[in-house]
A and B are shown apart, each in its own frame.
Chain A
Amino acid sequence: MSEKTQYYDDSVKGFITWSIVWGTIAVVVGILISLQLAWPQLNVAPYLTYGRLRPIHTNAGIFGWGIGSFIAMFFYITQRLTKTPLWSPKLARVTLWIFNVAIASAAVTLAMGINRTKEYAELEWPLAIIVAIIWVLFSINVFMTILKRKEEHMYISLWYIMATLVGVTVLYVVNNLGMPLHLFKSYSAFSGTNDANVQWWYGHNAVAMVLTTPPLAIFYYFLPKITNNPIYSHRMGIIAFWSLIFMYLWTGAHHLLWTPVPDWIQTVAMAFSIMLIAPSWGAVMNGYLTMGGKWEQMKTNYLVKFMICGITFYGLQTLQGPMQAIRSFSAFIHYTDWVPGHVHMGTMGWVSMVLFGATYYVVTKMSDSEIYSIKLANAHFWLVLAGQLIYSITMWIAGVQQGSMLLATNPDGTLHYSFMETMISIFPYYKIRAVSGFIYLAGLVLFIYNIYKTFQKGADAKTFKA
């Protein structure tokens, strides 16, 4: 083609903007509930209690910030990799509208206590159906663009994107099956132990298909773009891809160790969790080796910092995760604050770091201008890194502390500590954690300001040209 392909990026911009809005709300609500754990008088009954706010925090984070920005990035990447404009820009616009209405309704209904209580599948059935519709509309748009593509070869990012489209559909539909009582209440289609097993098959693979394969698709696309190095090994990427999507689905029951779920399912989950280190580190090593020894870019290119730091947290996350999936270690730290420490290294570290880097890159491309301020972007990097490390490290300490106190017994077999003694011992960590949230939020504010100014700069330049 002699002419440059016209890409459709309005919806990319729309999804980026709105995902940042929902992401900020997720962080603010997160700070509020972290304060509530340290000072219970901050609960405002009935709407702003911890029990109703925590699902808003997780849903705004996963669906608003996570899925919202993945849709943006998938629209952006798919068009470039296929050298084809988006199949239907109109459908993309409609998807964005429904997406925002759905996330806003999710926040309102959860505050009202309309809650299925299955983690990350809390939304009642009418909203769950709308979420599924959003996903299908988005998937059709991406898949049709791939079908009509002008570039025959499909780069590894497209593989991850397509696996995400299929995987999320299967998981979300099955775990949301239920028997509606009325518009705002339904009961799960499964009961007791079966329901738990289905829930964590879903819960853990939401980590796979929402918090792993999409950021990997994004990482594989943007790291070579940012560093100007080709990906180290396409073949390693492909082997890691198939083994990752094969193994992940076996591991859900590591959330249910020592519970009434049949022992063999727990053991299989444990084994596959450990095996997952291989494909996870396949991606990590592919990232490191793509740097091609040009590590000075960590100093000279702010985007490389976000990407490499992100993949490093992915590497740490996928070592810590399998460790937690072992029965003896799980007995120690499961149900404690160790786990939120682990989860936030994945979300605030890995996923968000990669998204920050990708967003800066995309925004500068779309505005056809340089970033407004590299200094601010660097400050943003250090603030979110510090916030995330303080969060995770304090929670790991709190988890080990409370876990060991809860297990401690006297020589006659009675418990050494009362539950309250263990809780009082972790209050100081709750306060430090709340501070870490404010640090992270400060970084986020710099990010938003920088993005806003860059868009403005782009708009000004266009006006000038015209």
Chain B
Amino acid sequence: MLEKNPVIFIILAFVVIMVGTTITMIAPFKWINGPGDSIAEVKPYTPLQQEGRDLYMREGCNNCHSQTVRTLASDVERYGYGGTYSKSGEFVYDRPHLWGSRRTGPDLAHIGLKYPDPKGAWHRKHMENPQSVVPASNMPAYAFLNQPLDTTYSERKMKLLKFPYTQADLDDLKGKSEMDAIIAYMRKLGTDIPVKKAEAAMQAPVTANNPFTNLEAIEKEAKSLYSQQCASCHGEKREGTLGPALKGSAKSDADLFKIISQGIEANGMPSFSSSLDEQKIWKLVTLIKKDIK
């Protein structure tokens, strides 16, 4: 009969398609984003952050950047930035989700934890000219975001998304650029859930004393590490750009180790405990201690 009646055939095909659809797509609405998933600390976006998120969508950032830290150790280490893997409750205000499918660039789910600087100086420099910060990067330059932010729909967006906002939030949009908005969004990502950064980072090295006292033996490796990890903010010649100059230091080896490992939140210095192991940090300490003119 099926070979002769197209109406019955189409109804049957629809039913067959709907079985898997119902079980794996419709039914999960019962559990996902329910009370079990909710995280009290996660807050909706402010008008400025939501504008930034919309710009992230406009520019198609999701084509190269994912936004989910998987439950894999290497993912947590690389993209957790002191936090942990992504949880459902972190995304309840995301319409649409921006998890992405390709990491041409790094995952950004917790990028707000990486650069603590409230002014977002690193992001600004990087967005304007990515290669000035990360020389081999293949990211396009987004200097054109230094144009006034269109706030025509900002309030209506808050209402549509049912996000709370105050007049102060709306006033905060005045005079802001698109760059300011996207940086505000970057700085929010992953920061709602408090992270005890000092705990997450290495408190103290396993080897109490710097094992690399002879710079000459490790100079080549240390310099390469420096240009990969430090040069973008402290300058290729350690002259200082976003961060201070590092031409020799009076600080003790142990203090320098702690700064590199844990970062200095107030100054915007990120923690490097997940990207550098102990040996590498000690080598950098030895290099930085060297007084160059």
Interface residues of A (CB under 8 A from B): 36-40, 43, 45-46, 49-52, 54-55, 113-119, 143, 146-147, 152-154, 158-159, 162-163, 165-167, 170, 179, 181-182, 185, 187-199, 201, 242, 245-253, 255-262, 265, 268-269, 272, 331, 335-336, 339-340, 406-410, 412-415, 418-421, 423-424, 427
A406 with B95, Cβ < 8 A, contacts A45-B141, A179-B160, A259-B86 known: no
With a 10 A CB-CB cut-off, give which of B25, B66, B161 has the most chain A CB atoms.
B25
CB distance from B128 to the nearest CB of A (A): 11
Which of B17, B60, B63, B87 makes the CB contact (< 8 A) with A260? B87
- Of all chain B residues, the one with the shortest Cβ separation from A116 is B96
A181 with B77, Cβ < 8 A, contacts A49-B59, A242-B16, A414-B275 known: no
- Of all chain B residues, the one with the shortest Cβ separation from A255 is B101
A113 with B229, Cβ < 8 A, contacts A192-B93, A260-B91 known: no
Which of B4, B28, B88, B276 makes the CB contact (< 8 A) with A192? B88
Determine whether the beta carbon of A249 is less than 8 Å from that of B20. yes
Assembled-state Cα–Cα distance A419/B107 (Å): 10
A117 with B60, Cβ < 8 A, contacts A38-B138, A51-B140, A192-B33 known: yes
User: Is there a chain A Cβ closer than 8 Å to B71's Cβ?
Assistant: yes
Determine whether the beta carbon of B102 is less than 8 Å from that of A196. no
**What are the interface flags for B18-62 relative to A under an 8 Å C-beta threshold, 1 for contact and 0 otherwise?**
111101110011011100010000000000000000100111111
User: Is there a chain A Cβ closer than 8 Å to B204's Cβ?
Assistant: no
CB distance from B83 to the nearest CB of A (A): 14
Determine whether the beta carbon of A420 is less than 8 Å from that of B138. no
Assembled-state Cα–Cα distance A261/B88 (Å): 7
Assembled-state Cα–Cα distance A163/B61 (Å): 35
Q: A167-B13, A415-B77 are in contact. List 4 more A-B contacts (CB 8 A).
A: A192-B92, A259-B99, A408-B74, A418-B228
- Of all chain A residues, the one with the shortest Cβ separation from B152 is A182
Q: Which 6 A-B pairs have CB atoms at the shortest separation, nearest pair first?
A: A192-B91, A51-B60, A249-B20, A43-B140, A258-B70, A113-B58
CB distance from B285 to the nearest CB of A (A): 16
Assembled-state Cα–Cα distance A242/B16 (Å): 8
Determine whether the beta carbon of B60 is less than 8 Å from that of A115. yes
List, in ascending order, chain A residues with CB within 8 A of B101's CB: 119, 255, 335, 339
List, in ascending order, chain B residues with CB within 8 A of A262's CB: 28, 31-32
- Of all chain B residues, the one with the shortest Cβ separation from A38 is B138
Assembled-state Cα–Cα distance A340/B144 (Å): 29
List, in ascending order, chain A residues with CB within 8 A of B3's CB: 153-154
For the residues of A in contact with B, the DSSP-based class is helix
User: Is there a chain A Cβ closer than 8 Å to B104's Cβ?
Assistant: yes
Assembled-state Cα–Cα distance A419/B66 (Å): 14
Determine whether the beta carbon of B274 is less than 8 Å from that of A166. no
A250 with B96, Cβ < 8 A, contacts A51-B59, A335-B66 known: no
List, in ascending order, chain B residues with CB within 8 A of A272's CB: 20
B residues 191-210 touching A (CB-CB < 8 Å): 206
User: Is there a chain A Cβ closer than 8 Å to B6's Cβ?
Assistant: yes
Determine whether the beta carbon of B92 is less than 8 Å from that of A170. no
Assembled-state Cα–Cα distance A414/B201 (Å): 11
Which of B14, B60, B95, B137 makes the CB contact (< 8 A) with A187? B95
- Of all chain A residues, the one with the shortest Cβ separation from B56 is A117
Assembled-state Cα–Cα distance A113/B4 (Å): 48
With a 10 A CB-CB cut-off, give which of B23, B32, B33 has the most chain A CB atoms.
B32
Which of B10, B71, B96, B278 makes the CB contact (< 8 A) with A117? B96
A162 with B88, Cβ < 8 A, contacts A192-B93, A247-B20 known: no
A421 with B228, Cβ < 8 A, contacts A54-B63, A406-B78, A414-B277 known: yes
Assembled-state Cα–Cα distance A248/B13 (Å): 13
Determine whether the beta carbon of B96 is less than 8 Å from that of A52. no
- Of all chain A residues, the one with the shortest Cβ separation from B59 is A51
B residues 138-192 touching A (CB-CB < 8 Å): 138-144, 153, 156-157, 160-161
List, in ascending order, chain A residues with CB within 8 A of B14's CB: 166, 170
**What are the interface flags for B100-141 relative to A under an 8 Å C-beta threshold, 1 for contact and 0 otherwise?**
111110110000000000000000000000110010111111
Which of A193, A255, A415, A427 makes the CB contact (< 8 A) with B88? A193
- Of all chain A residues, the one with the shortest Cβ separation from B29 is A194
Determine whether the beta carbon of B33 is less than 8 Å from that of A40. no
CB distance from A279 to the nearest CB of B (A): 12
28 A-B pairs whose Cβ atoms sit less than 8 Å apart in the complex:
A37-B138, A49-B60, A52-B60, A55-B60, A115-B57, A117-B96, A154-B3, A166-B10, A187-B95, A187-B96, A192-B92, A195-B97, A199-B96, A247-B20, A249-B25, A250-B20, A252-B25, A257-B70, A260-B87, A260-B90, A261-B28, A262-B31, A268-B23, A335-B101, A408-B74, A412-B277, A415-B74, A420-B136
Determine whether the beta carbon of B13 is less than 8 Å from that of A163. yes
Assembled-state Cα–Cα distance A193/B42 (Å): 15
CB distance from A116 to the nearest CB of B (A): 7
A162 with B78, Cβ < 8 A, contacts A193-B97, A197-B25 known: no
User: Is there a chain A Cβ closer than 8 Å to B264's Cβ?
Assistant: no
Which of B32, B63, B95, B143 makes the CB contact (< 8 A) with A51? B63
Determine whether the beta carbon of A45 is less than 8 Å from that of B144. yes
List, in ascending order, chain A residues with CB within 8 A of B4's CB: 152-154
